[in-house]
Amino acid sequence: MKSSSRSTLILVRHAHTEMAGKFCGQIDPPLSAEGLAQLAELNEKLGGHSCTHIFSSDLERARQTAEAIANRHNLPVHLLRSLREVAFGSWEGLDWDQVVAQDPAWAQRWLDQYPSISAPEGEGLEHFRKRIRDAMDSIADQVQGACAVVVTHAGVIRTFSGNLARHGNPTEFKCDYVGCWKISREDQQWSTLQEVISSEAYEVTGLRQ
C-alpha cells in the first residue's frame, strides 16, 4: 500500500514574555510568569490532536513552550534555527516610541512600505520569506503521513500565511500568544490555514492557496 504524502503541521506561537510590545526579534528572553501560566491552556487546546513530532525555534521562549507540549506527549523537541523570528537589527529590544525617537525617517518609511522593507541592519524580508518557506517544506518532507507541532514566532506564522495567500491582507493576520493554526501539505500543495480553538479548527478567511 502506498504511504500517504499528506503532512499536517500545527503552527504554535510561543507564550508571553516580558518583552511583549517590543521588537524582540532574535533577542532571547525566557517566558514571563504570564507565559508560563499559558502553557496549561495551550496543552488543553492541543489535547485533541495526535502529533508525532515537535519542532521549535531554538530561541528560549519557543523552546520553553515546545518543551511543555513535548512533556505532555512524551516526545523530543527538534530545535531549528531556521524557525527563528525575523532579525530586527538595531530595533531589537525597542518599543515603537523608542524606534520613532531613534530614527523617525526610517520609522515612517517602514510604516509606508511594510512589509517590503526591513528594519535597519535587520534581516532582508525576501530572505526571511524564503527561510520560512524552506523550513516548513523541510518539516513537511520529514513528517509525511503524520502530524508535527511547530513552535515559532508571530512574524514566522504571519509570513508563512502571507506566502500562501492569494487574497486578503496577511499583515492584518492576528497572531496572539499561544495561538495555534493547522495546515496540511499534500502533493507539494499547501492547504487552507485553520485556527485551532480547542480540539477543533476553522478556516481563516482570506488565507487559501
Catalytic residues: 14, 85
Distance (Å, rounded) from C-alpha 40 to C-alpha 69? 9
Distance (Å, rounded) from C-alpha 106 to C-alpha 68? 39
Q: Are 134 and 128 in contact (CB under 8 A)?
A: no
Cis peptide before 30 (omega within 30 of 0): no
The CA-atom distances, in angstroms, between 122 and each of 57, 58, 127, 204 are 18, 19, 11, 30
Three-state secondary-structure class, residue 75: coil
**Grid cell of 23 as nine digits:** 521588537
**Grid cell of 174 as nine digits:** 492576528
Helix axes of 154-164 and 125-142: crossing angle, nearest 10 degrees: 80
The residues, any chain, with a CB within 8 Å of residue 35's CB and separated by 6 or more, are 14, 15, 16, 17, 61, 64, 65, 177
